[in-house]
Amino acid sequence: MKANAILGAICAAALSTLATAEPFTYQGSLDDNGAPANGEYDLRFELYDAQVGGNMIGGIQGEENYQVIDGIFTVELDFGPGAFDASSRYLRVGVRPGDSGGLFTFLDPRTPINPAPKAQHATTADELTNPIWNRSGSVFTAGSGLSRVLINRDELITSSEYFGVHAEATGFVGMYISGPTDSFPFYGYSVNNAISAYTYFDSNNDSWNVVGAGGVTSLRVTSGNDVEVSNDITAESFQFETPKLNYYSISGNSFHSASNDSFLASGGIGGAYITNPGTGVLVAPVNLPHGARVTGMRVYCADTSALGSFSISLMYQEHGGSTFFSAASTNTAGFNSSDLTLSDIANHTINNNTRHYHIRVFSSNWSGSNSMRIDSVVIEYTTTEAD
């Protein structure tokens, strides 16, 4: 009986799982009296660190009553963790007829193990002085041992970097985390093996989310590009790219008399007016954000009285001062209608630090009825900072 063993393909395994030796496939051809063997045979395999003599490594591997067809046999061998390192390895193969119980015939010389199985040792080597991966063209390297991985880059950006990706290209340069339908691609952060924070994409509503401590979603960017911030998160300011136009409305029932005259203030059709004919003043408070720029004022009112007219002004006064100043003003002079819309253009910056503001409605000749009344006022202003 003559046997000729041939090393076959190594079982595929991810590098991250090779800390424990993986089985590898060994395929051989077996001749019996000059012809391809057919039938049952017992096979024995031993691993040594030398081609002659030496030390046996791991346990004995064997197959009993193995069915050999046309001289070909294929077996899985596993000599345990630590069996393969940077040293040479040789396989001793023994054969005997199945169920014979006799002595094994060992093939001579021992079969050298090619480097492929030794790759199992790459991630468990105790001492590696050179990087695991090295490539000079289009750099693909691992830094010092397992401590750093740099792809297409051979220099650190900072000393704290442990993973980096670089592409020598213009435009977008980056990487993706992807998954199938209904998956949630995420990037996480952990300290001491605890989930600290992570970001993820929710394909159910096409939103990008930032989850902080305690699993609370602190920030969400919706499919409509709206940014939602949780109530517990604050910022000093959010600035609009260009000034945003806003409106501040004052209804008729916000007014009261500042001249000790009787008055009527209603948000309905009655509006606000002095009920005693003659001179009188109505006022309403104005609360605009500090730094807002007033750009205009619209007044909705009525004046069908032939007795006179009234003026409507946005007034301000310095804190502790006695003089009033007008930021915007209009009046009903020359109009006769129960449905008036008057306006004035303004350019005034609100300063709540040194001033206070109100709307002033004055007439020296109120009619005493709703024929002269103020219905509402709209102040137009712009801001660069979100409320």
Question: 22 pLDDT exceeds 80?
Answer: no
Give pTM, 2 decimals.
0.48
> Hey, what domains does the chain have and what are their CATH numbers?
2-121 (2.60.40.10), 186-229 (no CATH), 246-385 (2.60.120.260)
The residue among 336 and 236 whose pLDDT is bigger is 336
pLDDT at 225: 82
What per-residue confidence (pLDDT) applies to 129? 47
Q: Across residues 44-63, what is the average pLDDT?
A: 92
Contacting residues for 155 by C-beta, under 8 A, at least 6 apart:
none
| Residue 83 or residue 22, greater confidence | 83
pLDDT tens, residue by residue, 287-305: 999 999 999 999 999 999 9
pLDDT of residue 4: 44
**Residues in a beta bridge with 137:** none
Nearest Cα neighbor of 360 from 221, 259, 240, 222 is 259
| Residue 163 pLDDT exceeds 60 | yes
DSSP alpha helix (H) spans, 63-156: 115-118
Residue 234 pLDDT: 61
Mean pLDDT computed over 204-222 = 88
* Average pLDDT of the chain to the nearest whole number: 83
Q: pLDDT-derived band of residue 247, with 50, 70 and 90 as boundaries?
A: very high
3-state secondary structure of 352: coil
- Rounded to 5 degrees, what angle do the CA atoms 156, 157, 159 make? 65
- Reply yes or no on whether the pLDDT at 315 is more than 60: yes
Please list the residues that pair with 35 across neighbouring strands. Answer: 32
In the chain, % of residues over pLDDT 70: 82
Confidence of residue 310 (pLDDT cuts 50, 70, 90): very high
The answer to whether 92 touches 79, Cβ cutoff 8 Å, is: no
Q: Of residues 17 and 323, which shows the higher confidence score?
A: 323
Lowest pLDDT segment from 65-79, 291-305, 310-324, 353-367: 65-79
